[in-house]
Amino acid sequence: MLAMIILIGPSASGKTEIAKILIKDYGFKKFVTTTTRSPRLNEINDMDYHFISINDFNNKISNKKFIEYVFYNDNYYGTTLEEIDDNKVLILEPKGLKEFLKLNDKNIVSFYIDASKETRYKRMVERKDKEEEILKRIHNDDKYFAESKKDVDYIIDNNSNETSLNKIAAQIYTLYINKIK
């Protein structure tokens, strides 16, 4: 039996920072996903993602090493079978969530982290993403994430500057514990 938290939401909605708090303060382990994209400033290979080449990614696909994978924003992302473990927090996109939901495990609890376009734009500027990349991601996310709210267990609003990420993480943890009891 798995007991995991899955976070989904558009770019810069706060998923990664919330996951870090769940790991640091609530004892979760990070489910490290695999990607072909380049690391961002301060990202560390095998901690933030497993950064691999397109060739290596295709080899893993051929060898059926992924639970799910997707081509998103010009890069591949995937979750490998070897990362499955109890007490992990995983960040996914909508198609990946659908694959995990097929497991029909009530102990996999999913959350949609919601934030407005304006909030997400501001966050991407603050993290020094390129303008053209920001606009592309916001445009793609509007289409890509539109239907996914109906697939999750809970929707969490992360628009307000007044609600700290620590409070949001605490809310997620409480909802998670109450659901898996």
Q: What is the pLDDT of residues 88-111, one digit of tens each?
A: 999 988 888 998 888 888 889 999
The neighbour count for residue 114, using CB atoms within 10 Å, is 18
pTM for the complete prediction?
0.84
Inform me whether the pLDDT recorded for 164 exceeds 70: yes
Determine the average pLDDT of the residues in 108-133: 93
- Residue 39: the pLDDT is 95
DSSP 132-152: HHHHHHHHHHHHHSTTGGGGS
- Here the tokens at position 77 are 């992302």
Strand, helix or coil at 129? Answer: coil
- Residue 2: the pLDDT is 63
By percentage, how much of the chain surpasses pLDDT 90? 70
Mean pLDDT of the chain: 91
Q: Give which of 81, 141, 133 is closest to 112, Cα–Cα.
A: 141
Q: CA 32 to CA 23: how far, in whole Å?
A: 12
- Residue 121: the pLDDT is 94
Inform me whether the pLDDT recorded for 160 exceeds 80: no
Mention every residue, 6+ apart, whose C-beta is less than 8 A from residue 130: none
Mention every residue, 6+ apart, whose C-beta is less than 8 A from residue 46: 32
